[in-house]
Amino acid sequence: MTYDFHPHAKGELEDAFTYYDNINPELGNAFLDEVEQTLERIVNFPEAWPKLSDNTRRCRTVGFPYGIVYQVTDQLIIVIAVMHLQRKPNYWTERI
């Protein structure tokens, strides 16, 4: 199974990376590595995380206050949001 990003989710990932990279380039790289590991967990076990709606789930990153909100279709995982867990909840619902 593969994954793809909603355009806004891709922008959120880039913004979060830039934020951490500006603090310290190693921190930015660690964030990207963790997002990649989280996406790998999702690809391997797409139904493992709690549902936020009928077809939407969220998997939290480790060590960073972010969650990957995604939907599973027949052969594709669509990343709906790379959401900061301490900010506006459910802002991403207009994307589904």
Over residues 40-81, the pLDDT tens digits come to: 999 999 999 999 988 999 999 999 999 999 999 988 999 999
The answer to whether 21 and 27 have CB atoms below 8 angstroms apart is yes
Is residue 89 scored above 90 in pLDDT? no
Is residue 35 scored above 90 in pLDDT? yes
Q: Would you say the C-alpha torsion 90, 8, 38, 21 has a positive or negative sign?
A: negative
What does the radius of gyration of the chain's CA atoms come to, in whole angstroms? 13
Q: Return d(Cα 44, Cα 48) in angstroms, integer.
A: 9
Residue 68: how many CB atoms within 10 A of its CB?
25
Q: Which SS3 state, helix, strand or coil, does residue 36 take?
A: helix
Fold topology of 2-86: YaeB-like fold (3.30.2310)
Burial, 54: exposed, middle or buried (Cβ in 10 Å; 0-12, 13-18, 19+)?
Answer: exposed
Q: What confidence score (pLDDT) does residue 91 get?
A: 67
What average pLDDT is seen over the chain?
A: 93
